[in-house]
Amino acid sequence: MTVIGAAVALGIVGTAVAPEAAIAAPAARAAVVAGAVPDAWVEVSNGTHFRVMVGDHNVAPTRVDVRPVGSDVVVATLDKFWYESDTVGSEEPDIGWYEAHDELRLDGMGDYELDVYVPSDGGGVAGRKGAGRFTYALDPKLDVASDQKQFSLDDLDATATGSVTAVHPRTGERGPLAGALVSVQLGWGRSDVVSDSEGKFTTLVAAQGKESSLSLSARLEEGVQTPSAAQPVRIRPQQAALTLSGPSKGLIVRYGAEASFRGAITRVTDDGRTVAAAGRTAIAEPLKPGGLSASSVSGADGTFAVGPRVTAAGSWKVSGQDPWLIKTPAHTATVVKVTHTTDVVEEKVLSTDRYRKMTISGKIVVDGVTTQKAPVEIQAKAGDGRWVTQKTLTVDYNKTFTTTVEVFAEFPSSPWRIYNPGTQNIGPSTGADLQPGRLQTRFELVRVGPKPVCMGETMFVAGTLKAYGPSGYSHNYPGRKVRYYFKPTVGTVWKEMGSSITRADGTFGAKFKAVSDGTWRVRHIDTDAQHFASTSHTVYLDVRGGTAPCAAK
């Protein structure tokens, strides 16, 4: 049979029923017992054709009966199916279902249910009524209206009326859609209603009184096409008052704990009475940037306790913020002291050797009693300005600690600091910038030659030594001793070959006899107390054998 439509059933769990009669079943992949009958649904192909599906690839359905919702009268039966599947992946099993061979054609528009029957153990048939539901109609349209347009906490409900029409899949004529399941919503409140024979519906629906805004809407609950309609309505806020009770000034709070600002909210009812405002929002907002906000909902007696997490002393504005109430005047609550904050004190550089080993000391003091230990990060400022943790350790609060770190080779003059990240209930702290106390030196334009060179001939090593000032600018570094080192290709040990003193322009050079292939480098390790040692990059020199062709080059 053939049906035109644009709706799909949502699977609805039904009740297993006894088979009406033993029906010869087509070959099934597996027999099932009553209660394990799969869901059914309707899909639309080509935009107009209804097709019935049964969704368990392990069971071939015997038949599917179609009947109007709420009726036991079967208006159509489908008993021929073929197997369909989609492959999810090469190693995944197919997702399969059974599709009815015939299209579904019905006489009347409306909501229908699907009853599925499958082979059962013992050669019988197991069935489930209400295994699926769908709306048989095309292009449904809704309208909805309310008997009132404004709502308050004393008047949350309304009578909603509306109608639904659709195009008949077979005749193409638009008419009332009877028996359609319509969901009506007022704010967060919902009421489901079924349209009557004329496609009309009436239902009582109530808002919850917690919405930030209101609208009245209706939508069809079944079908591929689930159109909706809406009508604007609005909240009518009531006069309200908020008072603070208990201590709200001069509070002392531990770092990371929640302050407790207590109070009550009242409202004036539509008939003029002052009552507790239950379920209303109170909010505490910091008066200065950097603080944390918090909110709380009042209880049945209108009281609330709003607790912002405190990390620093300051003041908070406490007020009611609720769209159902006229905004209340704000009150001020103040925390004058936060305990268990920390400071980094007595930080200093004890020593920095020429090979970039820096020893620093410091102390993390805490304002309060604790058995915890202090997490500490030793940080250096990178070239892009970020503070980068180079070492972590744990120390006792209120006791001096000492630790050694290696200064950046790339940024040896960058500042360092001691950073305490704190814990959940003990505050963080940052120490002052520390300078390593030595400045960078660096070799530039180091070269070895000539290339090629023959064994026994004279060769040279030359370059320039630079020193950096506190501002980071380099200058030529005269009068400093540099040492020359060589490592033969077949060896692993660097041998000092000699030394020289840098000239007035920072340049240096020395001559040696070429003895074998190998790598050269220069080091400045005879530093003063203000500079780091440095080592140049390596340069490879190919030394050729002492043959006539070599000598002739």
> Three-state SS across 293-309?
CEEEECCCCCEEEECCE
Confidence of residue 21 (pLDDT cuts 50, 70, 90): very low
E strand intervals along 147-180: 150-151, 157-167, 174-176
> What distance lies between CA 538 and its chain's CA centroid?
48
Q: Which of 160, 154, 188, 157 is nearest to 324 (CA)?
A: 154
Q: Which of 108, 162, 129, 133 is nearest to 221 (CA)?
A: 133
Instruction: Supply the pLDDT for residue 89.
Output: 54
Average confidence (pLDDT) over 255-268: 96
Q: Which of 4, 52, 51 is nearest to 171 (CA)?
A: 4
Confidence of residue 92 (pLDDT cuts 50, 70, 90): low
Is residue 15 scored above 90 in pLDDT? no
Instruction: Supply the pLDDT for residue 44.
Output: 80
Which tens digit of pLDDT belongs to each residue from 394-412? 999 999 999 999 987 667 7
- Joined together, the tokens standing for residue 524 give 């400045």
Instruction: Supply the pLDDT for residue 77.
Output: 96
Polymer length in residues for the chain: 553
Measured on CA atoms in the order 487, 492, 495, 501, is the torsion positive or negative?
positive
CA distance 20 to 175: 36
Q: What is the CA radius of gyration of the chain?
A: 43
Is residue 56 scored above 90 in pLDDT? no
| Segment holding 552, helix H or strand E | helix 548-552
**In the predicted model, what is the mean pLDDT of the chain?**
88
Query: How many beta carbons lie within 10 A of that of residue 170, not counting itself?
Result: 17
Instruction: Supply the pLDDT for residue 90.
Output: 52
Longest dimension (CA), the chain: 120
Phi, psi values for residue 123, rounded to 5°: 85, 5
Which tens digit of pLDDT belongs to each residue from 533-545? 999 999 999 999 8
- Residue scoring higher pLDDT (15 or 149): 149
Secondary-structure percent of the chain, ordered helix, strand, coil, rounded to 5: 0, 55, 45
Helix (H/G/I), strand (E/B), else coil: 32 = strand
- Residue scoring higher pLDDT (19 or 332): 332
Measured on CA atoms in the order 12, 13, 15, 21, is the torsion positive or negative?
positive
CA distance 145 to 130: 32
Query: How many beta carbons lie within 10 A of that of residue 484, not counting itself?
Result: 21
Which tens digit of pLDDT belongs to each residue from 475-507? 999 999 999 999 999 889 999 999 999 999 999
Which tens digit of pLDDT belongs to each residue from 434-471? 999 998 999 999 999 998 899 999 999 999 999 988 77
Instruction: Supply the pLDDT for residue 30.
Output: 45
Instruction: Supply the pLDDT for residue 93.
Output: 56
Q: Which of 174, 180, 138 is nearest to 46 (CA)?
A: 138
Specify the range with the lowest mean pLDDT, choosing from 12-16, 54-58, 97-101, 179-183.
Answer: 12-16
- Joined together, the tokens standing for residue 486 give 């060589």
| Segment holding 551, helix H or strand E | helix 548-552
Amino acid at 119: P
Phi, psi values for residue 324, rounded to 5°: -90, -5
Burial of 260 per CB tally in 10 Å (0-12, 13-18, 19+): middle
Which tens digit of pLDDT belongs to each residue from 329-346? 899 999 999 999 999 999
Average confidence (pLDDT) over 31-59: 78
Is residue 32 scored above 70 in pLDDT? no
> Is 440 within 8 Å of 413 (Cβ atoms)?
yes
> Is 423 within 8 Å of 337 (Cβ atoms)?
no
Instruction: Supply the pLDDT for residue 382.
Output: 86
Instruction: Supply the pLDDT for residue 545.
Output: 81
pLDDT above 90 coverage of the chain, percent: 74
Is residue 1 scored above 70 in pLDDT? no
